[in-house]
Amino acid sequence: MSSLEAIVRELRKAARRALGARYAAHALVGAVAWVAAVMILVRLVPFERRAELAVVGIPVALAIAAAAWLIRRPSAALLMAMADIRLGLKERLSTAWERRAESGPLDDAQRHDAVQHAARASLPAAFPVRVNRGEATLVAILAIFALALALLPNPMDQVLAQRQADRVSQARAAKAVADAKKKIADSGKPSPKDAQIQKILQDAQAKIHEADSPRKALESITPAEQQLQKLPDPGTPALQSSAENLANALSGTAAGRSAAQAISNNPAKGAQSVRDLASQLQSLSPKDREELAKALAKASQQAQNSQMRDSLSKASSSLQSGDAASAAQALNDVASQLDSLQEQENTDQAVAAAINGLEAARQGLAAQADRDANGQGGQANAGASPSAGASGNGTGNGTGNGNGNGTGNGTGTGGTGGTGGTGTGGTGSNGSGTGSGSGAASTERIYVPGQPVPGQSENDPTPLGPGQDVPLSPYTQVIEAYQQAALDATDQSLIPGSERDLVREYFSQLGEPRAAK
Amino acid sequence: MIAEEPRVDATRVTELAQSLETELARLIVGQKALLRDTVIALTAGGHVLLEGVPGLGKTVLVRSLGQTLSMSFSRIQFTPDLMPADIVGTNIIGDTDGRREFHYQAGPIFANLVLADEINRATPKTQSALLEAMQERTVTVGTQTRPLPSPFFVLATQNPIELEGTYPLPEAQLDRFFFKILVPFPSEGDLLEIARRTTGDSTPQLKSVADAGAILTAQRTAREVPIAEHVLRYAARLVSATHPDRSELDSVRHYVRWGASPRGLQTLVLAGKVRALLEGRYNVAFDDLNSVAQPALRHRIFLQFEAEADGITADRIISEILEHTAKEPASK
């Protein structure tokens, strides 16, 4: 191996060291610049995994620098030429390397001269390992900058905290819906509508979970409630009333007393007792038959359900005419209707449980949506434009369903577009209702607070006008107090969630001109 | 083991040049650059145009060079009435064995070392008589072409400030000079030394240190000096940069009318090789090219009138080119 190749090897080793140090410095600059850029970015855009994003740039910068270091292999000719320049060897090495295979009259002498001069020089000095002062300064500046950005308060922290709260709120709401599903499934009272109820709750849970914000999640609850409220049979109250009347009528008879008690306790048990009574008709005494026929006739007269009325009437007339078989058949029909009543009651209870779950979800989401609105109000001021939203008045009719028995009728006043309606359960608690209405064209003039007098604060008492003896409160203070009182009232009242949304939306609209100002 | 004895003894060239410089320095005070450039041109086999005001020792230098070399030397004083035949010779009628016939009478050009003193005083016709001699190293009189002795070395002098009755050399003839060397005014110390040496009762006697054979060997050896590809490319970039249509320098584009010819590149490389040998090196370095760039290129760059008006010289242009031309390392 010639001395020239030994020189090349030594130069290459030194160059690798020098390049390694230089690329390490480049990587350091890249990594610190990346961190600084991330620190700037997270101040402009809310980004949660900022630490991970900042850290991931460091190995990437190092990897890129390492790859560049590995790929870049200076040629021997380049190394020789650079050594010539940096060591003042007057192009001896580069000429010798270029002509290493030549055999001209002076080539050998030239190579010998080059090797001699290289031996006297310190070859590694051609590629010194040194830190570029500019790069070091840049790294220091960027590091200080990034550190300062990391330590100073970040305005995006509030946004991120709000997002986190939103997610927690939505997760809780989804869990409330899931709990309702589980409760219905575990109730032990199956109804033919269970599958539909589970499907509605499942969809609502998914929408709540996937919604962008609590407010969006709220929008998925009302439709679910409306779907649920379509499931109960409207004839159930009438059937329940008929069953109660039957129980009352039978309680006065010797033969039907036990059946009356069973009907009062549970329609299903009542059905079984009525079937037992039907099978015992043959063995009843004429007196008992007559007494039973009268009770059935009375119950028939009081029955609001037509089928029940017909069956009871038929059973009564058959007993009076001595046709025990027909009477038994009619009583069996009554028992079937009691079974049907049991199923409808089960459905009602499942629907009520589902709505309770949705309402629980609504409570949490609404509270978070309010907090979001309050938190964002200050930020929205600058960009919002003043606009007077038209509001309309409408009337709506709705039906309410509660846990208890009863029917509800109500009227509702819609907000914008007239979408609201209220229903109150007759005797049930926790009733909720939906309604529909068409809003009339708005003629209401919305009061928009005027611009404050220059030099006067908005919170300063307004000067008394002619004929006024009480100082006026500023609009913003009054409307905020109204809003707070209204929202407190809705939280404490057992009013449907859709109505609470209306209240919230109303005040939100009122707040728009204020925000725009 | 790489080192072997070189087939060409380059050290002899170095020794020859050093002894020439040492011997000339006994008579010529200071002017080291002038001596070095003259020796380089001599070793490279090129002709030299010496430019300087009267009394700076131009003629003394050439005469001294003739004394230090065991070669034929002739001096031609150029005057307006000098005819070409006065330089190259002519056919004259002579008496041979009772018969009268023409025979050729060689002119003073037939010498190894020719001093063309005040060359710009002769008419262009006479100046052009030197053209063939300088380039082809032959002389044609009538129908017969005769070779000049080898080595053949023309040293011409001219006075830059005396314009009355002078004929500036045309570009084509200037290009045939290997170097144009400016003879600077001596420093105060040199002036004192000149006074001491030349006003005493003794004048240094120069001895011959080389003959024609040694010079020819040195010329052949110089051409064997290797030059790396990237150094050669640098030389080409230097020459290209003297052309206004190729240069990126504003001064070149603005002031230069025409740049150096390919002969300029040949001169640059050959002079660089000689300088490398004179420096005891066996390869051409960037420094060698930079060192010889001024004398090799200054008479090959023709300036616009604006340059003269703005006081811009070819030397300044060359300095700028040297400053801005990149010495790119080899890319392979």
Quick check: is A163 in a domain? Answer: yes
CA distance A124 to A16: 10
Same domain, A172 and A312: yes
β pairing state of B179-182 and B48-51: parallel
Quick check: is A516 in a domain? Answer: no
What is the domain range of residue A117?
Answer: 3-151
Of A127, A151, A175, the residue at which a domain comes to its end is A151
B8-198: which CATH topology? Rossmann fold (3.40.50)
Say whether pLDDT at A411 is over 50.
no
CA distance B55 to B161: 13
Q: What is the C-alpha end-to-end distance of chain A, expressed in Å?
A: 86
Same domain, A96 and A216: no
The pLDDT value recorded for residue A468 is 53
- List of chain A residues whose C-beta atoms are within 8 Å of the C-beta of residue B3: 108-109, 111-112, 115
Q: Is B4 on the interface with A (CB under 8 A)?
A: yes
CB contact under 8 A, B3 and A81: no
Say whether pLDDT at A394 is over 60.
no
Quick check: is A191 in a domain? Answer: yes
Same domain, A51 and A178: no
CB B160, CB B171: distance < 8 Å: no
CB contact under 8 A, B330 and A80: yes
Same domain, A228 and A351: yes
Q: Mean per-residue pLDDT for A61-66?
A: 91
CB A90, CB B221: distance < 8 Å: no
CB contact under 8 A, A106 and B284: no
CA distance A309 to A303: 5
The total of other beta-carbon atoms located within 10 Å of residue A42's CB is: 22
CA dihedral A191, A196, A201, A203 (to 10 degrees): 170
- Nearest by CB to B330, which of A78, A92, A102? A78
CA distance A295 to B111: 164
ipTM for this model: 0.85
The total of other beta-carbon atoms located within 10 Å of residue A517's CB is: 15
Weakest-pLDDT range from A199-208, A370-379, B213-222: A370-379
The pLDDT value recorded for residue A470 is 56
Quick check: is A364 in a domain? Answer: yes
The pLDDT value recorded for residue A466 is 53
- Nearest by CB to B224, which of A81, A94, A104? A104
The pLDDT value recorded for residue B331 is 52
Residue with tokens 């001219």: B158
Say whether pLDDT at A142 is over 50.
yes
Same domain, A361 and A216: yes
**Closest CA of chain B from A98, distance in Å:** 7
Q: Mean per-residue pLDDT for A311-339?
A: 89
CB B314, CB B331: distance < 8 Å: no
CA distance A401 to A399: 7
Give percent of chain A above pLDDT 90. Answer: 20
Residue A451 pLDDT level (bands cut at 50, 70, 90): very low
Sheet holding B153-158: strands in order across?
B73-77, B113-117, B153-158, B48-51, B179-182
More confident residue, B273 or A363: B273
Weakest-pLDDT range from A55-59, A400-404, A487-491: A400-404
Which residues pair with residue B210 across a beta bridge? B69
Q: Mean per-residue pLDDT for A292-311?
A: 88
B41 φ/ψ sector (left φ>0, alpha ψ -120 to 50, else beta): alpha
Of A331, A361, A380, the residue at which a domain comes to its end is A380
CB contact under 8 A, A108 and B10: no
The pLDDT value recorded for residue A113 is 93
| Tokens standing for residue A485 | 């009182």
Q: Is B12 on the interface with A (CB under 8 A)?
A: no
pLDDT digits (tens, 9 = 90+) for B15-73: 999 999 999 988 888 888 999 999 999 999 999 999 988 888 888 888 888 889 988 99
**Closest CA of chain A from B80, distance in Å:** 48
Residue B93 buriedness (CB in 10 A; 0-12 / 13-18 / 19+): exposed
Quick check: is A177 in a domain? Answer: yes
The total of other beta-carbon atoms located within 10 Å of residue A358's CB is: 27
Residue extents of the structural domains in chain B: 8-198, 225-326
Is the previous residue joined to A46 through a cis bond, with omega within 30 degrees of 0?
no
- The number of distinct structural domains making up chain A is 2
pLDDT digits (tens, 9 = 90+) for A247-269: 888 888 888 888 888 898 888 88
CA dihedral A479, A481, A484, A488 (to 10 degrees): -130
Same domain, A18 and A107: yes
The total of other beta-carbon atoms located within 10 Å of residue B317's CB is: 25
CB contact under 8 A, A95 and B226: yes
Same domain, A198 and A128: no
Same domain, A133 and A269: no
Of A85, A120, A151, the residue at which a domain comes to its end is A151
Same domain, A144 and A166: no
Residue with tokens 């060997």: B217
B31 φ/ψ sector (left φ>0, alpha ψ -120 to 50, else beta): left
**Strand, helix or coil for residue B145:** strand
CB A217, CB A233: distance < 8 Å: no
Same domain, A359 and A263: yes
Residue A469 pLDDT level (bands cut at 50, 70, 90): low
CA distance B30 to A378: 88
Give percent of chain A above pLDDT 70. Answer: 78
Residue with tokens 């003297």: B242
Same domain, A59 and A171: no
Quick check: is A414 in a domain? Answer: no
The pLDDT value recorded for residue A393 is 38
Q: Mean per-residue pLDDT for A370-392?
A: 47
Weakest-pLDDT range from A322-336, A340-354, A362-376, B315-329: A362-376
Q: Which helix (H) or strand (E) holds B149?
A: none
CB A234, CB A345: distance < 8 Å: no
Quick check: is A427 in a domain? Answer: no
Residue A449 pLDDT level (bands cut at 50, 70, 90): very low
- Nearest by CB to B2, which of A3, A81, A92? A3
CB A69, CB A62: distance < 8 Å: no
Chain B interface mutation, best of A106, A110, A117, A127, highest count of B Cβ atoms under 10 Å: A106
Residue ranges for chain B with pLDDT beneath 70: 1-8, 329-332
Average pLDDT, chain A: 78
**Closest CA of chain A from B273, distance in Å:** 12
Q: Is B8 on the interface with A (CB under 8 A)?
A: yes
Q: Which helix (H) or strand (E) holds B126?
A: helix B124-136
Global confidence as pTM: 0.60
Same domain, A37 and A101: yes
Quick check: is A500 in a domain? Answer: no
CB contact under 8 A, B287 and A113: no
- List of chain A residues whose C-beta atoms are within 8 Å of the C-beta of residue B275: none
Residue A434 pLDDT level (bands cut at 50, 70, 90): very low
Q: Does domain B225-326 have CATH number 3.40.50.450?
A: no
| Tokens standing for residue A487 | 């929202």
